Amino acid sequence: MSAASSSWKHIPFREGKPIPYRATWSDVEFTSIRAGLIPAQMEDKWFIYYVEPHLFLHRSWSGQPVYRLAIVQGDKGFEVAESLWSLELASARGADSDYQVKLLDFLISNLLLGQSKQFPMPAVSQDHSHPGALQHVISGTGYDEKLPKLRKPWWRFW
């Protein structure tokens, strides 16, 4: 089932600040993107839907609009013609549009296209000791944290 604007409660996207996110997708990839994402459980942090020509990304719990992409068919596939980041978020203190480009790429690649790109850590993050926890809070996705290697297997004490 494809996501529609009526699939989840959300606040309409009103104004945005341009960010330099650009991408091109094949017909098959765009079919997956156009299907969007309806949250299925509490851990799902995003509601994503497509209404031609825009792809909208909202936080699932609050319905807050975050991104709006204008997508057009180009010579090499489906291309992002315009990327907007919610003006409310972009106006916040410490807002980093370069990080938003990386995060948006991560969200589309991992949530809609089933890829497994590495989560981008924000430069302003104060605690990098548990990057997986930050990834889960922001994206709702699992993570592969590198834990310290044990010297001996846990079942061998001698």
Query: What does the pLDDT average to over 108-136?
Result: 78
**pTM for the whole structure:** 0.84
**What are the contacts of 33-41 at 24+ separation with CB within 8 A?**
33/71, 33/78, 33/108, 33/112, 33/113, 34/2, 35/2, 35/3, 35/112, 36/2, 36/3, 36/4, 36/7, 36/112, 37/3, 37/111, 37/112, 38/1, 38/3, 38/7, 38/8, 39/8
Give the confidence band of 134 by pLDDT, cuts at 50, 70, 90: low
Q: Please give the residue that has the higher pLDDT: either 79 or 150.
A: 79
Convert the pLDDT of each residue in 66-118 to its tens digit: 999 999 999 999 999 999 999 999 999 888 999 999 999 999 999 999 998 99
Of the listed ranges 35-44, 84-93, 143-152, the one predicted with least confidence: 143-152
What pLDDT, on a 0 to 100 scale, did the predictor assign at position 144? 54
